[in-house]
Chains A and B, each alone.
Chain A
Amino acid sequence: MTIMQIIFLITASVTLFAALMVVSTRKMMHAAMWLILVLFGVTITFALLETRFFAIVQLVIYIGAIAILIIFAVMLTRRSMNADVPQVNRNWWLVMVSSLALFVGLVTVMSVWEGFFVTARTAPPGGENLVQLGTALVDPNGFVLPFEVASLVLLAAMVGAIYVAAERKEK
């Protein structure tokens, strides 16, 4: 057990505890806060892999944008659920059992793969090669096509979200 492993295990257990709280807590705002903790746990895991750039991006996009957006929605739709009504579906035990089966299945299948027990390599010291990443994104023989398409998705999402959420007066 090395120090890195201990750090990893602590991060992992906090992350997973927070994840469980997200799906089990009754209060929406609390769930959103736990979600931020989950996202932060993932950030630390990225950092453990020396993927520094993506740790920052995770922090900025997921916690800074997505989680905040969700919190806005929680506040805008307040009083939407009273906490007394049952919060889960009726056949919850069936879901539990099948999820457990899914997990066991996933891990079993992965563990037969030879790379499973290999020590993970981190990104090269000094973090990932950002210049390479940047040029790959705009290289016609690289990823320029998905890059442009991604911008289109964002445009469509923006137009769509404004259209749907904008309050219009009756004509």
Chain B
Amino acid sequence: MMIDVGRMMLEILPEIGLLILIGVVLVLDLFWRKSRKKLGWVSFAGLLLIFVLTLVFVQPARLPQLTWGGMISLDMTGYIFRMIFIAGAALTVLYAIANDSLAGRGEFYLLLLTSTLGMCFMASAADLIMLFLAIETTTVPLFVLAGFLTRDQKSVESGIKYLLFAAMTSAVMLYGFTWLYGFSGTTQLYQIAERLKYGFVPQAAVVAAMMLVLVGFGFKISAVPFHFWAPDVYDGAPYPVAGFLSTASKAAGFAVLARALFVIFPLQTETWTLIVALLSTASMFVGNLLALAQKNIKRLLAYSSIAQAGYILIGVAADSPLGTSGVIYYLSAYLLTNLAAFGIVALVGRAVGSDEISAYAGLSRRSPALALAMLVVMLSLGGIPPFAGFIGKLLVFAAAIERGLIWLAILGVINTIVALFYYLTVLKVIYLYRSEEEDKPLAVSSAAGTALVICIVGIIALGVVIAPLYGWSTDAAATLLFLPR
């Protein structure tokens, strides 16, 4: 059989681009001893270039195609998610440039890029081996990134905590993989589905394997009851890493979750719909109720991100094209919103020296622009039109209703209202409370400013111009349900 190397290389263009960028950063780190800060800009420019190249050259065919020996599937899902990850990484790099303890470290960019590469493979992996390696490529650098501030005990502890939770859940997930392999004799996702359908494998065994696998995915998306790590890790990790963990890493988890459930377990739909709906309900309630009690903004955002995972799971539980495109839309909106949130928190935290919500008093006078950005972010997280978060919520709730999961949609709406309470509390502190230092303006560096502007423009654009991304997500949702050629 002839192997068309050029075509195969083009199919993994974003990954190859990231690999080259990793090499460039590694080499430049050696030579630019004096001005390592430039490395951040090099990474940002590289990511931007990869983003554009991916956008133009990697457009997949309409029907999904297996390639590289069935390791990855080329489809719209992989395409969109790759762009989500690369965009998330680019914004995170901008925040890192603005952060003095990270900016001068080549290792930071190298690990961030490696993690992004892992995520890209997670989104398109079509084989258990590839999937496992992609997940580990994503998480291993994140352990170091979470513990990156080696002088700060809290940061290192959060690294260890993240590692122990990740390793434990991935061991359980791996055990689930062994069963899937044992029952089917193959690691290719589509073949597993085939063999499970025509082989004589008892339902109970398949469902048990599914539950084991769900433990690993549940950890990645920080759904209850696998959420214990999130508040501590977000609290201890450097701000840009916390933002990256709560957005890109979570989106990667959802990409894998959706593909695994749709592709491997189409016969167990009733079971997993129920399980996912229960996970969703638990995540929404636990996340929102605990967020109400938080005094620290990083922990508040952590619990809010658990609750957001709950809303997104509604879209997965709907098990429909509308639900899946809702998931993708929601994740894109959430990526921009939460990255902006962590960016603002980083700026304020470094200026004020505290992450307490009370430290935000008088922000509207110290920096009207930041306060306005926070307003947009909080309203988008709360699901208020005309911001992106609203469309995401609308789509997943509509999908639930369309599929008869009305109770789930109602619970989602109730939770949205509860959540508004704490989002508005933050805004109340920013706009109505006074502080003694409010005449001191707050400096925003050019890198962080650029990132914030991109995020805010994106949030508003996705909230107003729905058609392009919605069209893409619908295509992506359709490819997940097709068999590849």
Interface residues of A (CB under 8 A from B): 105-106, 109-110, 112-115, 139-146, 149-150, 152-153, 155-157, 159-161, 163-164, 168
Given contacts A115-B182, A146-B129, A152-B19, is CB(A109)–CB(B205) below 8 Å?
yes
The segment from B47-55, B67-75, B360-368 that touches chain A is B67-75
Contact with A along B99-120 (1 / 0, CB 8 A): 0000001010011001101100
Task: Find chain A residues with CB under 8 A from B205 CB.
Answer: 109-110, 112-113
Q: How far is the CA of A144 from the CA of B70 in the complex (A)?
A: 11
Given contacts A113-B201, A140-B8, is CB(A157)–CB(B140) below 8 Å?
yes
Q: How far is the CA of A55 from the CA of B417 in the complex (A)?
A: 58
Contact with A along B134-151 (1 / 0, CB 8 A): 101100110110011010
Asked whether B353 is an interface residue with its Cβ less than 8 Å from the other chain, the reply is: no
Q: Which among B5, B19, B137, B148 is the interface contact of A140 at CB below 8 angstroms? A: B5
Q: How far is the CA of A14 from the CA of B137 in the complex (A)?
A: 35
The 7 closest A-B pairs by CB, nearest first: A160-B144, A141-B69, A156-B114, A109-B208, A145-B71, A112-B202, A163-B107
Cβ–Cβ contact A164 & B182, under 8 A = no
Task: Find chain B residues with CB under 8 A from A155 CB.
Answer: 114
Q: Jot down 15 A-B pairs with beta carbons below 8 A, ordered by A.
A: A112-B202, A113-B202, A141-B1, A143-B69, A145-B68, A145-B69, A145-B130, A146-B71, A146-B133, A153-B118, A153-B137, A163-B105, A163-B144, A164-B144, A164-B156
Task: Find chain A residues with CB under 8 A from B467 CB.
Answer: none
Contact with A along B11-33 (1 / 0, CB 8 A): 01000000100100000000000
Task: Find chain B residues with CB under 8 A from A106 CB.
Answer: 208
Question: How close is A43's CB to chain B, nearest CB, in angstroms?
Answer: 18
Asked whether B285 is an interface residue with its Cβ less than 8 Å from the other chain, the reply is: no
Task: Find chain B residues with CB under 8 A from A156 CB.
Answer: 110-111, 114-115, 137, 140-141, 144
Q: How far is the CA of A160 from the CA of B115 in the complex (A)?
A: 12
Asked whether B56 is an interface residue with its Cβ less than 8 Å from the other chain, the reply is: no
Cβ–Cβ contact B8 & A152, under 8 A = no
Task: Find chain A residues with CB under 8 A from B118 CB.
Answer: 149, 153
Q: Which among A144, A153, A163 is the interface contact of B68 at CB below 8 angstroms? A: A144
Cβ–Cβ contact A146 & B110, under 8 A = no
Question: How close is A114's CB to chain B, nearest CB, in angstroms?
Answer: 6
Given contacts A106-B208, A109-B208, A143-B129, is CB(A153)–CB(B107) below 8 Å?
no
Asked whether B183 is an interface residue with its Cβ less than 8 Å from the other chain, the reply is: yes
Task: Find chain A residues with CB under 8 A from B3 CB.
Answer: 140-141
Contacts of B148-202 to chain A: CB distance below 8 A: 148, 150, 156, 159, 179, 182-183, 200-202
Q: Which among B8, B72, B111, B200 is the interface contact of A159 at CB below 8 angstroms? A: B111
Cβ–Cβ contact A149 & B69, under 8 A = no
Question: How close is B121's CB to chain A, nearest CB, in angstroms?
Answer: 6
Cβ–Cβ contact B147 & A143, under 8 A = no
Cβ–Cβ contact B137 & A152, under 8 A = yes
Q: How far is the CA of A163 from the CA of B208 in the complex (A)?
A: 40
Q: Which among B137, B148, B156, B204 is the interface contact of A149 at CB below 8 angstroms? A: B137
Q: How far is the CA of A145 from the CA of B11 in the complex (A)?
A: 12
Task: Find chain A residues with CB under 8 A from B202 CB.
Answer: 109, 112-113
Task: Find chain B residues with CB under 8 A from A152 CB.
Answer: 19, 22, 114, 117, 137
Task: Find chain A residues with CB under 8 A from B1 CB.
Answer: 141
Cβ–Cβ contact B200 & A149, under 8 A = no
Q: Which among A110, A140, A168 is the interface contact of B69 at CB below 8 angstroms? A: A140
Question: How close is A75's CB to chain B, nearest CB, in angstroms?
Answer: 19
Name which residue of chain B comes closest to A105, CB basis: B208
Q: How far is the CA of A42 from the CA of B140 in the complex (A)?
A: 26
Task: Find chain B residues with CB under 8 A from A157 CB.
Answer: 140
Known: A113-B201, A115-B182, A156-B110. 19 other contacts (CB 8 A): A109-B204, A112-B204, A112-B205, A113-B202, A113-B205, A141-B69, A145-B12, A145-B69, A146-B71, A146-B133, A149-B130, A152-B117, A152-B137, A153-B140, A155-B114, A156-B115, A159-B107, A159-B111, A164-B144
Name which residue of chain B comes closest to A140, CB basis: B3
Question: How close is B411's CB to chain A, nearest CB, in angstroms?
Answer: 27
Name which residue of chain B comes closest to A160, CB basis: B144
Name which residue of chain A comes closest to B144, CB basis: A160
Name which residue of chain B comes closest to A155, CB basis: B114
Name which residue of chain A comes closest to B70, CB basis: A141
Question: How close is A137's CB to chain B, nearest CB, in angstroms?
Answer: 11
Q: How far is the CA of A159 from the CA of B26 in the complex (A)?
A: 10
Q: How far is the CA of A157 from the CA of B114 in the complex (A)?
A: 10
